[in-house]
């Protein structure tokens, strides 16, 4: 299975049309069709369901698409890492993060690092902690900024010093918006938006003092922006990290602290057994003494 053919396959999945894919790849349509036919013969399964208008992936095709994207992403990252000069520090550092308080420190950190090493660039990807961990384990990223609780037993990490404090979001005209803070009992009869991550949701169940079956959980969500829209449209209440809602329209959405206070920590994490690029090694050294990070 050649990388070139995997790239051809992914272009077809993107365009959903053999002719358009061939044009984008600057090859002839018969050549592309033959390459895909040979790939299907190698795998032993059809990859596409074809009709007159467009083609769709078979279950085997969907699996190959997922794996091919990882293979190509890892290959491209490896090539970029190997091209980095040993004399002048350069290359791309890939970091996944959610929108939370620690991203303020992360932004300052990356900006300061580039002043020292202008040849280094950063690729920042929005992701949940579970997805970041999956990508770290497979070498697809260099670092992940993760909100605890998460299993870090086989990872290296440096925690941010400032805690991530949780809050409740509701419409500005919601009766709860007049409260100074939100107590668990204020939410027992309300439609709720909770984080999709099971470990984080469990922490919130403990704060609420209720089993999930006894709560009116209408939505699970990963992004603060989407949660705020659900809050407005559905008159729901969202429990979220305070740092995930910095750009709200406060004429529409109110944000209130929880009572009792609920907080957690976040950390910048990397795989313990990974082979780091020179740029990544320098970044770890830089992070370990940066203001706003725990000293190790």
- Strand partners of residue 254: 170
- Strand partners of residue 30: none
- Strand partners of residue 191: 216
Residue 93 C-alpha from the chain's centroid: 15
> Would you call 51 helix, strand, or coil by DSSP?
coil
Q: Does 51 score more than 90 pLDDT?
A: no
On whether the pTM is more than 0.75, the answer is: no
Mean pLDDT (the chain, rounded): 89
pLDDT value of residue 277: 87
Based on its alpha-carbon atoms, the radius of gyration of the chain, rounded to whole angstroms, reads 23
Please enumerate in sequence order all residues whose Cβ is within 8 A of that of 111, keeping only pairs 6 or more positions apart, or say none. none
Kindly tell me the sign of the dihedral angle through the C-alpha atoms of 78, 83, 88, 92: negative
Q: Does 202 score more than 50 pLDDT?
A: yes
* 93-113 pLDDT, tens digit each: 999 998 888 999 999 999 999
């Amino acid at each position: 299975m050649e990388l070139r053919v995997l790239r051809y396959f992914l272009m077809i999945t993107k365009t959903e049309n053999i002719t358009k894919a061939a044009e984008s790849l600057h090859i002839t349509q018969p050549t592309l069709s033959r390459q895909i036919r040979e790939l299907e013969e190698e795998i032993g399964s059809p990859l596409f369901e074809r009709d007159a208008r467009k083609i769709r992936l078979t279950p085997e095709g969907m699996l190959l698409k997922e794996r091919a994207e990882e293979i190509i992403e890892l290959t491209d990252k490896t090539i970029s890492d190997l091209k980095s000069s040993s004399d002048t520090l350069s290359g791309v550092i890939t970091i996944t993060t959610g929108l939370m308080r620690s991203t303020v420190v992360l932004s300052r950190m990356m900006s300061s690092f580039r002043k020292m090493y202008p040849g280094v660039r950063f690729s920042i990807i929005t992701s949940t902690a579970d997805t970041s961990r999956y990508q770290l384990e497979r070498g697809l990223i260099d670092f992940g900024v993760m909100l605890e609780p998460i299993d870090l037993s086989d990872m290296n990490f440096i925690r941010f010093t400032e805690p991530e404090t949780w809050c409740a979001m509701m419409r500005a005209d919601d009766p709860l918006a007049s409260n100074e803070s939100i107590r668990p009992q204020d939410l027992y009869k309300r439609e709720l938006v909770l984080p999709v991550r099971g470990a984080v949701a469990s922490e919130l169940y403990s704060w609420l003092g209720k089993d999930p079956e006894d709560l009116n959980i209408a939505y699970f969500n990963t992004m603060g922006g989407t949660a705020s829209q659900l809050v407005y449209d559905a008159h729901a209440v969202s429990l979220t990290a305070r740092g995930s809602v910095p750009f709200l329209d406060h004429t529409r959405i109110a944000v209130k602290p929880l009572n009792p206070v609920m907080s957690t920590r976040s950390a910048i994490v990397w795989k313990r057994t990974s082979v780091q690029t020179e740029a990544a090694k320098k970044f770890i050294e830089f992070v370990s003494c940066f203001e706003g990070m725990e000293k190790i």
